[in-house]
Amino acid sequence: MLRKLVALAVTAALFGSGLGSTDALAETVSTERHKVTVSTLADKLEKPWGMAFLPAGDLLITEKSGTLRRVTLSGDISSPLSGVPAVVDRSQGGLLDIAVDPNFGDNQYVYLSYSEADPQGGEGNSTAVMRAKLTANGLTNGKVIFRGAPKYKSGAHFGSRLVFAPDGHLFITLGDRYSAMNDAQTLDNHHGKVVRIKPDGSVPSDNPFVGKQGALPEIWSFGHRNVQGAAIHPTTGKLWTVEHGPKGGDEINIPEAGHNYGWPEATYGVDYDGSIISDKTHVEGTVQPHYYWVPSIATSNMIFYTGDKFPAWKGDLLVAALKGSQVARLDLDGDRVMHEETLFEEAVTQRIRDIEQGPDGYIYLITDDRNGQLIQIKPAQ
């Protein structure tokens, strides 16, 4: 009896706020290949940004204001977990992505990306990544393993997806900070870059710019705008990314070590006021996007579907989007995009900020709203 009372007390401490549980009323949606149900599991998340599944099946979900919560698939939302770093919650900044260490069962490490103020007291900020151990009540032993350089006074374009490669290295996607867009073409800063580090923050010796004078050694690829989606191809093991274009020109890329992806010298978009950023869509020495959208769909995150619950989607790339509250399903033949289908735009009414595949093989979405939702996609019976 005492053991049962202790278990109930722990549950009450984590989930005692009573936030967010909602009846999972399912809407049935027909797609080209599957009939699915779209169910809201929780609907009181405060502008959620990133999510990651724990091995036991619960989710860790970040809220942009600086809160980390543990959420069950029955819709229970925990009280805020302790140990989260201070964030600059302004414009596009805040607490952003979260990733679980591939060896979590042994080390209990999780990784958070966020907009960090200048530790020296300056007005600038940048994307940072902290590693910490997850306990029953929160995070302990937090250590900043990456700080974007330089600190820059802007509230825009932090990028900030975290994804582990099969070799255990951590990719961090970054943004160009908007008004510093030209920095994406130089190697003395992290603006508009994808970086690659070891889980402890050290630099792999085979990174492409290690030892090059004037280049930051963490850089993997450059010439990006604002990379907010990343996934590892399940067959090739290569990194794929998706980045916001300006007005038009959202891009999927397959970033290779040391390659330049063109921004802002080449783009398929124009500025938000219609003015020309570049009159070129390709510049010699830069890589063309693997796939792009004109007009933009305002891409967020993406996954390769690898489960068995939706067999006709297996191997497809699912790209979540803020505009139109949709998921773009890209039918792949190897790396080639053969067909695009728009999913869920009528069933989901809020901007989709993140997409993940659960351990159960179902698909999960979170929406970018002050009453943000956790949504589950299942096959219809």
pLDDT of residue 381: 82
Contact 70, 78 (CB under 8 A): yes
Question: What domains sit in the chain, N to C, each tagged with a CATH number?
Answer: 21-379 (2.120.10.30)
Strand partners, 326: 321
- Total-model pTM: 0.94
Residue 18, pLDDT score: 44
**Whole-number pLDDT of residue 251:** 98
Angle at 168 between CA 238 and CA 112, to 5 degrees: 100
What are residue 201's phi and psi, to 5 degrees? 95, -10
CA 133, CA 153: separation in Å to the nearest integer?
31
What is the distance between the alpha carbons of residues 264 and 180, in angstroms, rounded to a whole number?
10
The DSSP code for 87 is -
Cα Rg of the chain (Å, integer):
20
Return the residue matching tokens 């006709």. Answer: 312
Catalytic residue among 34, 157, 224, 244: 157
| 201/190 Cα distance (integer angstroms) | 15
Q: Which amino acid is at 331?
A: D
pLDDT tens by residue, the chain, 381 residues: 333 333 333 344 455 444 554 445 789 999 999 999 999 999 999 999 999 999 999 999 999 999 999 999 999 999 999 999 999 999 999 999 999 999 999 999 999 999 999 999 999 999 999 999 999 989 999 999 999 999 999 999 999 999 999 999 999 999 999 999 999 999 999 999 999 999 999 999 999 999 999 999 999 999 999 999 999 999 999 999 999 999 999 999 999 999 999 999 999 999 999 999 999 999 999 999 999 999 999 999 999 999 999 999 999 999 999 999 999 999 999 999 999 999 999 999 999 999 999 999 999 999 999 999 999 999 998
Query: 253-258: long-range contacts at Cβ-Cβ below 8 A with a sequence spacing of 24 or more?
Result: 253/221, 253/224, 253/287, 253/289, 253/290, 254/290, 254/335, 255/194, 255/220, 255/221, 255/224, 256/221, 256/287, 257/206, 257/207, 257/208, 257/220, 257/221, 258/208, 258/209, 258/220, 258/221
> What per-residue confidence (pLDDT) applies to 11?
42
Q: Cβ-count burial of 120 within 10 angstroms (0-12 exposed, 13-18 middle, 19+ buried)?
A: exposed
Contacts of 23 (CB under 8 A, 6+ apart): none
Q: Give the whole-angstrom CA distance, residue 46 versus residue 137.
A: 20
**CA end-to-end span of the chain, whole Å?**
40
Active site residue 157: yes
